[in-house]
Structure 1
Amino acid sequence: MTYSSVGERFLAQCAASGAREAFRAPGHGGGWQSLTWSETADRARDLAAGLLALGVRPEQRVAIAAATRLEWVLADLAVTLAGAATTTVYPSTNAEDVDYILTDCAAVVVFAEDPTQLAKLRSGNGFVGDVHHVVLFDGESEGDAVLNLDGLAQLGRHHLAKHPDAVDQVLAAMAPEHLATIIYTSGTTGRPKGVELTHANWLYLGAAIASEGVIRQDHLQFLWLPLSHVFGKLLLAAQYEIGFVTAVDGRIDRIVDNVALIKPSFMAAAPRIFEKIYSRVMSTTGAAGGLQARIATRAFAIGIDAVRRKQQRRSVPMWQRAGLAIADRLVFAKIRARLGGNLEYLVSGSAALAPQIAEWFAAVGLPILEGYGLTETSGASFVNRPGSVRIGTVGVPLPGTQVRLADDGEILLRGSGVMRGYHNLPDQTAAVIDADGWFATGDIGELDAEGYLRITDRKKDLVKTSGGKYIAPTAIESAVKAACPLVSNAVVIADGRNFASILLTLDPDAVSAGTDPHVTVQRAIDTVNAGLNRWETVKQYRILPRELSVEAGELTPSLKIKRAVVVKNYAALVDDIYSGAGHDHRLG
């Protein structure tokens, strides 16, 4: 059946799935609460009617400024069923940028997580821009202009009592080309741009994912990703199409504990989460010492060698298969059990996954399906499939997505996942989407004979040393993080410099008390340097005194590094590296 809107598709899934579980989330009194598909539909319909009672009209923007939680999902569904368009706002966004985003998109209502988010919306005696109502997830109603979620639902029920077909009439008038979502790209430089995604974009993506048969209706997903980011949002589109269950909890400090508790079938994450799991396991194993550490070291040596053999399409000898069985029983099965015991695969996106991390998880028996997409392409354009993962690539295109490479290697994409355009920016839209519908991604890549895509770098991230040599910083940064479990973030500096250096942060959970991390770090950089061209090698490093943070402006909310901000914040340290006076941590 062809659907005209995400709301129509969602309600069709609710009608088909009825009493089956749709969502679960932490309850207010402890434990977890569940919602069936029918219950989810009822709650979303009441909230949608509440928005209609507030005067929200088709394609008007309704913003959500909150962390990932069940209420975010319900608010988004309410916006969809009311025919409006969700504008996503990260809860970490500062008041100035909140003002810019809400004014630029002309939002009329905002779902705000709590009074802290509400305070960012205040302006004089009212709210910023065109906002006339705010709905709080946590907090009490304040007069007519600030409602809580229950108050909006009650308003909706009163509206439906008078106009029982109100939501159905809105949905009947919706068309696939209508605006569904505006997601502002956090960007590593400049003002964020609002990416306009239509109902057709999300419907295409849900159907394309479902057609692969990788995610099944009996699957349980653990969703912690920021729903303000396209990666989190696309997983909801897939759920409405397929009908699996999603456990929602966006608290990052609870991820590992929640995986063990929820026992999901699959989980999507940015590479940093997989790096932290790898780092924690390897540090724990190393700290154990003795026979246990030797067994683990041998198990991973056998397991990773077997992974590499399979990647090269070479057979695994019988003696090695026997060793793998022992390694699995003594080491790998225990790691899988710590992660719930039911994971069939993991999904990685948002940034490059280091091949060494992918090999490690594959050895454990938890293949990572690395994919690739941008906000401008609805979040997913390529992905590896179970059973045919090619480590170091982002897989092959989703059905309906076309790809070609420009003369300079830039990846060009065309298909139903490509955005309608940048909000209020026709010139910038025309600069990236040509007359034939090809979207210029800004990423450089290579396609192999079987259509697997390898991302080699960002077009704008290539830097040139003072000697005129180009360096791809992200590749070096990923290699260093993979080679050293202690490193949480790495920032290569080389642009206009006579050699490359690197700023590092250490994961406090991975650094053992009383140990000197410099020995481990230097060994890792030596290993990475051995595989680089001479002009790419890292000559010096510095360990920063703290982790990079979103609050300091050094990371985007999706945890991408803002290189220029890091260099600015640590300008004195960078000057020390290149002044010739700094002799600590000199390498090579």
Structure 2
Amino acid sequence: MVMANAEKKTLLHCLLYWEKKSPSAIYLTQPFGNGDVKNYTWQQVGDEVRRIANYIQTLNLPPKSNIALLGRNSAHWIMADLAIWMSGHVTVPLYPTLNAETAEYIFEHSEAKLLIVGKMDGKADGWKEIKTVIPQGLPVIAAPLSPPELSAQPQWNDIVSKTEPLKNPVLPELDDIATIVYTSGSTGKPKGVLHSFRTMIVITSGMEQIWGFTSNERMLSYLPLAHVAERAAVETMSLFFGFHIFFSEGLETFQKDLQRAQPTIFFSVPRLWTKFYLGVNEKLPPKKQKLLFNIPILNKIVKKKVLTQLGMNHVRVALTGSAPLPPQIIEWYRSLGLELLDVYGMSENFAYSHACKPGEVRVGYVGSVNPGVLQRIADNGEIQVKSPAQMIGYYKMPDKMAEEMTDDGYFKTGDRGEIDEKGRLRITGRVKELFKTSKGKYVAPVPIENKLNNHPKVEVVCVTGSGEPQPFALFMLSLDATKELANGQLDKETLTNEFKDLLKSVNSTLEDHEVLDYIVVVKDQWTMENGFLTPTMKIKRNIIEDRYLKHGEQWVAQKQKVIWE
């Protein structure tokens, strides 16, 4: 792979490059609530980063200390990351939705010497829990939009006004450690993935080849920056190519934030793509859409209007990842002129693995390898990947690294898959997720979950049944559906019948040993806070199975196709 030029050797070098080349161009746009929005130019970002870096250096932390960074996405998250690097240290991002137990583990395991807290409020994040486990005596910097409880701590804006800019930034070498990214911990304790400045920037030439990034792009950043996917797509790409990043204020203002950003590249997850789709269907019912889309002159006008109202009329690259989208939703977006491109990657390869190329999409596949990436399927069906962005190792876990890699340098993804004749990859489940029924037959839950996962009222599905005669499915309703049931807008009997029909149609596509015995609609919401979901919204199967499998016998005895817990 072609490496970045000398002026853009690392992401920190990139900041200095744009600060010099385009000082007055806007880099970051941050809403502060009540309609207050602030733009930060490259020069302003460079200035604040230098002042915070200088302040961090006055704390005399040991060289290359680990500094924790906690907050929802904001302009100051990216500035804090850059300031940590400029002061010669390593960034440890924490998911803003962590529960107390996981946050405590990361603080302790990473041996963080400083904590920078940004946008947190305890409503849309885990601040109420996380604040209880911040180690005593750990120095804190409170960035803008941080919780009021931190008012006695050193404030970012005060530091900026009282501290001189750092004259001689510490410029890293490519193989210096840049960050420790803790995995979402879907199978036990999170692991600290070590990434260097090289593994973070090496992805830029491949991304440019696939999507042709330029300095004219606009992106809205709202998926967690603590996760490698957003860090790669938003932070790395914007710093390297010099484009404009907008931030979202919150879910309530999301549509307004999108309209402000008018993104040219939009990266989202199936849950949100589905919400947009359902939102349009509410305002313009599918039957009416079909009618209007079939009228030659009118169809272009209507489609453009739909995209404009979504804030996506300028999007040229629309990316989706983390889980499959139902084919009919992909087709709907395609009919509007948006080709949703799947991407696939992991914390361990800085999300640089596979992507769907424009014009080469095969629905249900995550695309082919990115430039410089090698793939293969092991004898047990596991996908193995060798990426130029492969991690340096796991922090304080050398044995784990040996366990997760093959002797010839491939990373064992833990996912099972198959590759088609054009090299496109389909994920068919997790290697360790296969479970055995009491009849001794193995069941792969993910393909069945994907078939069930397109009912508009269902938020999350888990197929399970280890030790049971037949597998069964757990449905968690969306919050909207739960509210509609409670206030009588939604009829329980109608929903039960819809689920029966869904069960029947999915079962007709399955092998005998995979046929689902029944569906259970669970009464509780599965959240990141209560430990049922990872910070990347994946289900924690072991937690869910501990909670529900014990009821299998009594549910079988009920002989119902749909059971409400």
Equivalent position of 1:266 in the other structure: 265
Cα 1:381/1:253, change in 2 over 3 Å: farther
Residue of 549, 555, 565 corresponding to 2:533: 555
Equivalent position of 2:76 in the other structure: 71
Tell me the distance in 2 between the aligned counterparts of 1:36 and 1:155.
Answer: 20
Q: Is the 8 A contact 2:468 2:552 kept in 1?
A: no
* Post-superposition CA distance 1:40-64 (Å, at most 9, x none): 1112121112211222454311111
Tell me the distance in 2 between the aligned counterparts of 1:453 and 1:101.
Answer: 33
Tell me the distance in 1 between the aligned counterparts of 2:496 and 2:284.
Answer: 20
Matched, 1:416 2:388: yes
Which letter maps to 1:388? E
Equivalent position of 2:242 in the other structure: 243
Matched, 1:153 2:130: no
Matched, 1:474 2:442: no
Runs of 4 or more consecutive aligned structure 1 residues displaced over 6 Å after TM superposition = 140-143
Tell me the CA shift for residue 266 of structure 1.
2.1
Cα 1:355/1:397, change in 2 over 3 Å: same
After superposition, the CA RMSD in angstroms is 2.7
* Post-superposition CA distance 1:270-311 (Å, at most 9, x none): 22111222233334445xxxxxx53335678xxxxxxxxxxx
Within 5 A, what are the aligned runs for 1:428-447?
428-447=400-419
Matched, 1:583 2:560: yes
Tell me the distance in 2 between the aligned counterparts of 1:581 and 1:97.
Answer: 38
Which letter maps to 2:156? L
Within 5 A, what are the aligned runs for 1:172-571?
174-235=172-233, 236-249=235-248, 251-286=250-285, 293-297=286-290, 323=294, 325=296, 328-329=299-300, 331-340=302-311, 341-482=313-454, 484-509=455-480, 513-515=489-491, 516-570=494-548
Tell me the distance in 2 between the aligned counterparts of 1:153 and 1:351.
Answer: 41
> Runs of 5+ in structure 2 lacking a partner?
none
Tell me the distance in 2 between the aligned counterparts of 1:197 and 1:254.
Answer: 34
Q: Is the 8 A contact 1:278 1:485 kept in 2?
A: no
Which letter maps to 1:380? Y
SS of match in other structure, 2:69:
strand
Equivalent position of 1:128 in the other structure: 135
SS of match in other structure, 2:56:
helix
Q: Is the 8 A contact 1:50 1:154 kept in 2?
A: no
Tell me the distance in 1 between the aligned counterparts of 2:222 and 2:47.
Answer: 24
Cα 1:106/1:443, change in 2 over 3 Å: same
Equivalent position of 2:167 in the other structure: 165
Q: Is the 8 A contact 1:79 1:85 kept in 2?
A: yes
Residue of 88, 98, 101 corresponding to 1:96: 101
Tell me the CA shift for residue 189 of structure 1.
2.6
Tell me the CA shift for residue 108 of structure 1.
0.7
SS of match in other structure, 1:389:
coil
Q: Is the 8 A contact 1:328 1:364 kept in 2?
A: no
SS of match in other structure, 1:96:
helix
Equivalent position of 1:36 in the other structure: 41
Kindly, what percent of the aligned residue pairs are identical? 27
Cα 1:582/1:271, change in 2 over 3 Å: same
Tell me the distance in 1 between the aligned counterparts of 2:467 and 2:555.
Answer: 14
Q: TM-score, normalised by structure 2?
A: 0.89
Q: Is the 8 A contact 1:109 1:132 kept in 2?
A: yes
Tell me the distance in 2 between the aligned counterparts of 1:586 and 1:570.
Answer: 13
Q: Is the 8 A contact 1:90 1:557 kept in 2?
A: yes
SS of match in other structure, 2:78:
helix
Q: Is the 8 A contact 1:106 1:130 kept in 2?
A: no
Name the count of aligned residue pairs. 543
Equivalent position of 2:55 in the other structure: 50
SS of match in other structure, 1:39:
helix
Q: Is the 8 A contact 2:270 2:325 kept in 1?
A: yes
* Post-superposition CA distance 1:510-567 (Å, at most 9, x none): 6681432122222222222222222222221122234321122111111111123223
* Post-superposition CA distance 1:192-228 (Å, at most 9, x none): 1111111001110223212334333212111111111
Q: TM-score, normalised by structure 1?
A: 0.85
Equivalent position of 2:20 in the other structure: 15
Q: Is the 8 A contact 2:453 2:461 kept in 1?
A: yes
Q: Is the 8 A contact 2:416 2:428 kept in 1?
A: yes
Tell me the distance in 2 between the aligned counterparts of 1:424 and 1:433.
Answer: 16
Which letter maps to 1:131? L
Cα 1:242/1:575, change in 2 over 3 Å: farther
Cα 1:298/1:336, change in 2 over 3 Å: same
Which letter maps to 1:445? G
